[in-house]
């Protein structure tokens, strides 16, 4: 069994990932998108939890001298991406009569919070914080610029 300190470290990382992902989810929630605050928090937290648990499993087996267990961190990332792809696909809706597709940005933000969670799970703290700020800038500032340009008669779509 992994040491309690390692388990607490994963708990702290999951909380941190959830806070970062939740900040992006708040923006999606305010825009009344299909996946909001709670969904983003859960995706980011789940990604950090999966990666952190993988590290704990590896450490536990190495401590016992069992070198037959190998954890490929990129397989954990693949599992996260596969899960997010499923969730993201559910947020995308096509309205053929109107000729529009809705939810692609939300699906992309779910992918981003998953990767942020993965980075936190790998033990990075500054990088996910900066990327969260960059993601919020894209979602908020570029949306504002897009609305400004559309009011002037220039569509960015």
In tens, the pLDDT along 6-29 reads: 899 999 999 999 999 999 999 999
* Residue located via tokens 């996910």: 128
Rounded CA separation 131/20 (Å):
9
pLDDT of residue 94: 64
Say if 156 falls within a structural domain: no
For the chain, how many structural domains are there in total? 1
157: confidence class by pLDDT, cuts 50, 70, 90:
very low
Sequence-distant (≥ 6) Cβ neighbours of residue 28 within 8 angstroms: 35, 36, 37, 40, 106, 109, 139
Q: 128 or 148, which is more confident?
A: 128
Predicted TM-score of the model (pTM): 0.84
CB atoms within 10 A of CB 89: 10
Q: Give mean pLDDT, residues 103-116.
A: 94
Does residue 72 fall inside a structural domain?
A: yes
Higher-pLDDT residue of 130 and 103 is 130
Is pLDDT of 65 > 50? yes
Distance CA 28, CA 88 (A): 13
Rounded CA-CA distance 143/145 in Å is 5
User: Residue 83 and residue 49: Cα distance in Å, rounded?
Assistant: 14
Whole-number Å distance between alpha carbons of 101 and 80: 25
* pLDDT at position 46: 96
The answer to whether 8 and 123 are in contact (CB under 8 A) is no
In a domain, 21, yes or no: yes
In a domain, 74, yes or no: yes
- Residue 146's domain comprises 4-151
Evaluate whether residue 157 is within a structural domain.
no
Chain-centroid distance, C-alpha 89 = 15
């Amino acid at each position: 069994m992994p040491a309690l300190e390692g388990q607490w470290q994963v708990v702290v990382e999951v909380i941190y990932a959830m806070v970062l992902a939740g900040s992006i989810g708040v923006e999606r929630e305010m825009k009344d998108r299909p996946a909001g605050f709670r969904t983003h928090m859960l995706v980011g937290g789940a990604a950090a939890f999966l990666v952190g648990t993988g590290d704990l499993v590896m450490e536990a087996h190495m401590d016992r001298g069992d070198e037959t267990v190998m954890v490929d961190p990129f397989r954990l990332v693949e599992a996260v991406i596969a899960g997010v792809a499923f969730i993201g696909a559910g947020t995308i809706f096509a309205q053929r009569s109107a000729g529009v597709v809705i939810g692609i940005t939300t699906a992309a933000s779910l992918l981003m919070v998953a990767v942020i969670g993965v980075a936190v799970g790998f033990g990075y703290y500054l990088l996910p914080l900066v990327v969260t700020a960059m993601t919020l800038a894209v979602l908020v500032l570029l949306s504002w610029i897009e609305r400004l340009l559309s009011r002037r008669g220039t569509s960015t779509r």
